[in-house]
A and B are shown apart, each in its own frame.
Chain A
Amino acid sequence: MTTPLNLTRPASAGSPETATLRSPAASIPPKEKTFLSQLASSFAMFRNPKSLTGLVILGVFVAVALLGDVLAPYGALEKDFTALRQAPSWAHLLGTTHMGEDILSQIIYGTRGVLIVGFLAGIIGTAIAVVMGVVAGYTRGWRSESLSAITNVFLVIPGLPLIIIVASQFENPPLILIAAVLAATGWAWGARVLRAQTMSLRNRDFIQAARANGEPLHRIILVEMLPNLMAIIASSFVGTVTAAVLGLTTLAFIGVIPITNLNWGTILFWAQQNGAFPDFWWWYIPAGLCIAILGVALSLINFGIDEYVNPRLRSAGERARAMKKKGLDINETMTIVRTMTKTSTPSKQEGPK
Chain B
Amino acid sequence: MKIPVRFIASRSAFYLFTAFAAITINFFLPRMMAGDPVTAYMQRNAGQITPEAERSLRILFGLDQDSSVWEQYSDYWQLLFSGDLGRSFSNGLAPVGDVISSALPWTLGLVGIATIVSFVLGTATGALIGWRRGSKADVIVPISTFFSTVPYFWLGLIAIAVFSSTLGWFPASHAYDKGSSPEFTADFIGQVIAHGALPAITIVIASLGGWILGMRNMMLTVLDEDYITVAQAKGMPNRRVLWNYAARNAMLPQLSSFALSIGFIVGGTIVMEMVFSYPGIGKLLLDATTAKDYPLMQGVFLIITMAVLCANILADVAYAILDPRTRQTEA
Mark A residues whose CB is within 8 Å of B.
Answer: 149, 152-153, 155-162, 164-166, 168-169, 189, 242-243, 246, 249-250, 253-254, 256, 265, 268, 272, 277-278, 284-285, 288, 291-292, 294-296, 298-299, 306, 310, 312-313, 316-321, 324, 330-334
How many whole Å from A132's CB to the nearest CB in chain B? 15
Q: How far is the CA of A242 from the CA of B301 in the complex (A)?
A: 24
Q: How far is the CA of A191 from the CA of B162 in the complex (A)?
A: 41
With a cutoff of 8 Å between Cβ atoms, the chain B residues found around residue A333 in the complex are 229, 232-233
List B residues 122-155 near A (Cβ within 8 Å).
131-135, 138, 142, 145-146, 149-154
Query: B134 touching A317 by the CB < 8 A rule?
Result: yes
Query: A169 touching B32 by the CB < 8 A rule?
Result: yes
Query: A296 touching B267 by the CB < 8 A rule?
Result: no
CB closest residue in chain B, given A281:
B161
Query: B263 touching A284 by the CB < 8 A rule?
Result: no
Contact of A153 among B17, B267, B285, B301 (CB under 8 A): B17
Query: A161 touching B221 by the CB < 8 A rule?
Result: no
With a cutoff of 8 Å between Cβ atoms, the chain A residues found around residue B18 in the complex are 152-153, 156-157
Query: B150 touching A254 by the CB < 8 A rule?
Result: no
With a cutoff of 8 Å between Cβ atoms, the chain A residues found around residue B154 in the complex are 253, 268, 284, 288, 291-292
Query: A156 touching B263 by the CB < 8 A rule?
Result: yes
Q: How far is the CA of A276 from the CA of B162 in the complex (A)?
A: 13
B166 interfacial by beta-carbon distance below 8 Å: yes
B157 interfacial by beta-carbon distance below 8 Å: yes
Chain B interface main SS type: helix
B33 interfacial by beta-carbon distance below 8 Å: yes
The segment out of B93-101, B197-205, B304-312 that lies at the interface is: B304-312
Known A-B contacts A165-B29, A166-B29; the reply to A157 vs B22 at CB < 8 A is yes
With a cutoff of 8 Å between Cβ atoms, the chain B residues found around residue A321 in the complex are 134
B104 interfacial by beta-carbon distance below 8 Å: no
Query: A320 touching B289 by the CB < 8 A rule?
Result: no
Query: B151 touching A161 by the CB < 8 A rule?
Result: no
B110 interfacial by beta-carbon distance below 8 Å: no
Could you list 30 examples of A-B contacts with CB < 8 Å?
A: A153-B21, A156-B312, A157-B305, A158-B264, A158-B267, A159-B264, A160-B268, A161-B267, A164-B270, A165-B298, A166-B29, A166-B32, A169-B29, A169-B33, A249-B151, A253-B153, A254-B286, A268-B153, A277-B165, A291-B154, A292-B154, A294-B149, A296-B149, A298-B149, A312-B221, A316-B223, A317-B220, A331-B131, A331-B238, A334-B235
Mark B residues whose CB is within 8 Å of A.
Answer: 14, 17-18, 21-22, 25, 29, 32-34, 131-135, 138, 142, 145-146, 149-154, 157-158, 160-162, 165-166, 217, 220-221, 223-224, 229, 232-233, 235, 238, 259-260, 262-264, 266-268, 270-271, 274, 285-286, 289, 292, 297-298, 300-301, 304-305, 308-309, 312
10 smallest CB-CB distances across A and B, nearest first, come from: A295-B149, A160-B267, A320-B134, A278-B161, A158-B263, A288-B154, A317-B134, A168-B289, A321-B134, A333-B232
Q: How far is the CA of A160 from the CA of B157 in the complex (A)?
A: 19
CB closest residue in chain B, given A164:
B289
With a cutoff of 8 Å between Cβ atoms, the chain A residues found around residue B135 in the complex are 320, 324
Given A162-B301, A169-B33, A278-B166, 12 additional A-B pairs, CB 8 A: A152-B14, A153-B21, A156-B18, A156-B312, A157-B22, A158-B262, A160-B270, A169-B29, A249-B151, A278-B161, A288-B151, A321-B134
Known A-B contacts A149-B17, A277-B161, A278-B160; the reply to A330 vs B134 at CB < 8 A is yes
With a cutoff of 8 Å between Cβ atoms, the chain B residues found around residue A158 in the complex are 262-264, 266-267, 304-305, 308
With a cutoff of 8 Å between Cβ atoms, the chain B residues found around residue A161 in the complex are 266-267, 270, 285, 300-301, 304
Name, among A250, A268, A294, the residue most crowded by chain B CB atoms within 10 Å (CB to CB).
Answer: A250
Query: B165 touching A296 by the CB < 8 A rule?
Result: no
Query: B238 touching A310 by the CB < 8 A rule?
Result: no
Contact of B150 among A166, A265, A288 (CB under 8 A): A288
Q: How far is the CA of A8 from the CA of B314 in the complex (A)?
A: 50
Q: How far is the CA of A162 from the CA of B297 in the complex (A)?
A: 10
How many whole Å from A299's CB to the nearest CB in chain B? 5
Query: B34 touching A169 by the CB < 8 A rule?
Result: yes
With a cutoff of 8 Å between Cβ atoms, the chain A residues found around residue B220 in the complex are 312-313, 316-317
How many whole Å from A203's CB to the nearest CB in chain B? 20
Query: B217 touching A242 by the CB < 8 A rule?
Result: no
Q: How far is the CA of A163 from the CA of B152 in the complex (A)?
A: 17
Q: How far is the CA of A317 from the CA of B135 in the complex (A)?
A: 8
Contact of A310 among B161, B217, B305 (CB under 8 A): B217
Q: How far is the CA of A18 from the CA of B122 in the complex (A)?
A: 36
Query: A159 touching B263 by the CB < 8 A rule?
Result: yes
CB closest residue in chain A, given B163:
A278
Query: B133 touching A316 by the CB < 8 A rule?
Result: yes
With a cutoff of 8 Å between Cβ atoms, the chain A residues found around residue B29 in the complex are 165-166, 169
Query: A189 touching B133 by the CB < 8 A rule?
Result: no
